[in-house]
Structures are given as C-alpha cells and as structure tokens.
Structure 1
C-alpha cells in the first residue's frame, strides 16, 4: 500500500540556525516554494520547515521543536562525515555504533540540530 516516504515536517524555534545546520553542515539544498514555505531537499526527499507558532495548516496536533528523531543515510563514508562535523564544531553525541536500518545493518553517529532534534547519520555496512 505505501511505497516510500516523500517528506516530513520539521518545526523550528530558530529559523536561521536551523537553515545553517541543514544547508551548511548537512549539505541539503534550501528550496522556497509556495508563498513563503521553505524545505531542505536531498536525494529524492525533502524536509519541510515550519516556524514554531507560524505553522502551515494542516499540521501535527502538537508541533514541537526538538521532538524529531530521524535517521539519514550518508552519501559519503562515515569517517568523512565525522571530520566534516568536527570542522563545523558539531559534537557527536553518540557513536559510531551499530544499528539496524530499514534494509539491514548500519553504522551510525548521532548529533543534535539547533532545536535539539536527534539526527542519526548512518552508512550501511
């Protein structure tokens, strides 16, 4: 019935810092669409951005900055990602550790974005 995920919505209380993190640190493309909507585009997916208190309808019942826990698959080896994060002064909260992804074993590191969402960055092993 369901084939894949197309996008998800991230609610932020810190728009500028959030955009910097997802664009400069994670390398996503910032897209503006509609009248003033923004999204981070990567691969065949995107993350729509909502500003806390100014969300678009319809929305989650209780949109909250810092409630996201997501796993992103890296396009480069995790060691390169780790160095890139260090160059941007992003602390690794946990890892590398072995986990299970949708298609098998993954090796992951965990970081926090400016709203303290948990961002898992992984590679399949």
Structure 2
C-alpha cells in the first residue's frame, strides 16, 4: 500500500492498482458537497477487507508490531476468493477492518494451524 496524499480530512491510498479515498469528518466543511457521500458513514458503520498476501500469522505479527489489537481471529471466513482465514481489528476511529488470507491459493491446501472455530458474530 502506498500513501498518495494525506491531509487532516482526506487520505488517498494506492492498493495494487486500486485507489482508496478516505474522507475524514472535517471534509464536509472543506469540499464541494457533490463530491461526498449523500449519507456519510459514521465511524464504526462500515468495514473494509484487505487480502493479506502471506499467511495469517504474518498478518497478526504485523498488527502486533504496529500496536494494533486483534478483535477477532484468526477465524475461518468466506471472502471474494472463497474460503479464507481472517483477523479483524479497528482503525483509530473504530471502523472494523479485516485482513484475509487464502490458504489454498497462497500456501497449498494443507490447512492452517492455530485457526479458531468458525464464528458467525461478524458474518
């Protein structure tokens, strides 16, 4: 992930050929309203899932190094590419974020050690 632009109210990230624009709470007062969501999402009212290219233990170690607390996981999930293993965490505003790995794609279908029983609380 590459940070393209960062101001107090607006951040742009380039993610593997995709662009993610994040609108902060003060952007409403500083931007043309036609460029904003009609009904802004409140912090904690949405979530984003990112594919982690390695195994889930590496994702957890990365979060730990960054001082980020894992909320749930590792746990079995179904994602855009099928069955995967996810960890959930929150950004400073409380938005739920997810890293998902796809074991069959990334490491072979040998299974994933340390995975909790499937949880349905996060869907």
TM-score by length of 2: 0.68
Structure 1 residues 15-94: aligned runs within 5 Å: 28-32=1-5, 38-55=11-28, 56=31, 57-63=34-40, 64-94=42-72
| RMSD between aligned residues | 2.0
Cα deviation code 1:29-79 (max 9, x no counterpart): 11139xx96301111212102121324432222212332212110022211
TM-score by length of 1: 0.67
Ranges in structure 2 where 5+ consecutive residues have no aligned partner: 104-123
1:120 counterpart = 2:93: no
Rounded Cα–Cα distance in structure 1 between residues aligned with 2:69 and 2:10: 29
**Which runs of structure 1 show a deviation greater than 6 angstroms over 4 or more consecutive aligned residues?**
none
- 2:81 pairs with 91, 94, 103, which one? 103
Ranges in structure 1 where 5+ consecutive residues have no aligned partner: 1-27
Aligned residue-pair number: 96
- 1:93–1:75: structure 2 CA closer, same or farther, 3 Å change rule? same
SS at match of 1:79: helix
